Amino acid sequence: MFDTMTITKAASAILGALLIFLVGNWAADVLYHVDGHGEPAYVIETEEPEAPAEAEEEPSLSELLAEADAGKGEKIFKKCAACHKLEEGANATGPYLYGVVGRPIASVAGFGYSDVLAGMGGDWTPEALDEFLHKPSDFAPGTKMTFSGLSKADDRANVIAFLNENSDSPVDFAAAAPAEEPAAEEPEAEEPAAEEPAAEEPAKEEQAAEAPAKEEPAAQEPAAEEPAKEEPAAEATGTEETAQEPAEAQAEQAPADAAEAPSATGTDAAPADTAAADGTAIAGDVEKGKKVFRKCAACHKLEEGKNVVGPSLYGVVGRPVA
């Protein structure tokens, strides 16, 4: 039986061990404390990984066969020559391969094919030969053929071209290849005739230029009547001297009024046209007009007699319309 002293010692030993473990754990945390990761003081910028380049589309089998080299295929065929013969009817470890392109699968008489090939059916088309030469065990799982295959598509196409030549009726792979369709040409969009209104602008400008020329002389009529308004003011003075002075001034201005009378009527267009031709009735900046005329240059030329979409504008000011 355990006495009290023994139980006390055992309990003290257990509690002491736990205390030592806790103290050791606390000391380890103090010496090797672990905090959360802080933000770096300086961030190094790194380039983002580039997206992988898109894999180029491999040419189709028909394209490879159209450009296949039977001479290269003959060299590659040396890997097959250990088990296959090209002479018709000469079977070896494998069946003879003369005329194999287009021949029914497992059709050589007297050769013991594996069950998977014997029950497959179909013909040895270029597509079937390409798949078989790539990896025979994938094309016909359980086949007796232990050849690992040709991984390069060019090599398989060259071998098929060489086997095709060893046949009574070889296939013309170049003629069988699908012709490349020419890229459809997009019809050119017809440009709208947006410049047609520009051909009418000079005609409108001609009319606008002639209209002010005809109306401007009419604005001088009040000037001709002003001396008449001064007569009552002259009579209001009541002296003979002041009355005679307006009369004499009126007599002197009579010839000038008579000279200005044709222009004051505003009915004769010839003087207005002449004034417009002399450039006296039109006030404008020639340099600014030259810049604005660029809008008209697409349809009109300034060379005399040179008509394009619109008529020549050389000497258009004062020229008869149309």
What is the three-class DSSP state of 203?
helix
Rounded to 5°, angle at Cα 90 from 108 and 97: 60
Give the pTM.
0.41
Mean pLDDT of 224-248: 41
Domain assignment of residue 188, yes or no: no
Domain assignment of residue 141, yes or no: yes
Worst-scoring range by mean pLDDT, 40-44, 59-63, 102-106, 240-244?
Answer: 240-244
Domain range holding 317?
196-224+264-322
Res. 203: pLDDT tops 80: no
In this predicted model, which residue has the larger pLDDT, 206 or 162?
162
CATH number of the domain that 124 lies in? 1.10.760.10
208 shares a domain with 166: no
| Mean pLDDT across the chain | 73
Res. 260: pLDDT tops 60: no
213 shares a domain with 123: no
Model confidence at 142, pLDDT cuts 50, 70, 90, reads confident
Q: What is the CA radius of gyration of the chain?
A: 56
Q: Looking at residue 104, what DSSP letter applies?
A: B
In this structure, the chain runs to a length of 322
User: Looking up tokens 């699968």, which residue turns up?
Assistant: 105
Q: Looking at residue 32, what DSSP letter applies?
A: S
pLDDT of residue 228: 38
Exposed / middle / buried, residue 239 (Cβ in 10 Å: 0-12, 13-18, 19+)? exposed
Number of structural domains found in the chain: 2
pLDDT of residue 190: 52
218 shares a domain with 126: no
Model confidence at 180, pLDDT cuts 50, 70, 90, reads low
In angstroms, the CA 97 to CA 137 distance is 19
In angstroms, the CA 105 to CA 117 distance is 7
In this predicted model, which residue has the larger pLDDT, 28 or 219?
28
Mean pLDDT of 81-100: 90
Residue 114 vs residues 105, 133, 140, 261: alpha-carbon distances, Å: 11, 17, 9, 126
Model confidence at 188, pLDDT cuts 50, 70, 90, reads low
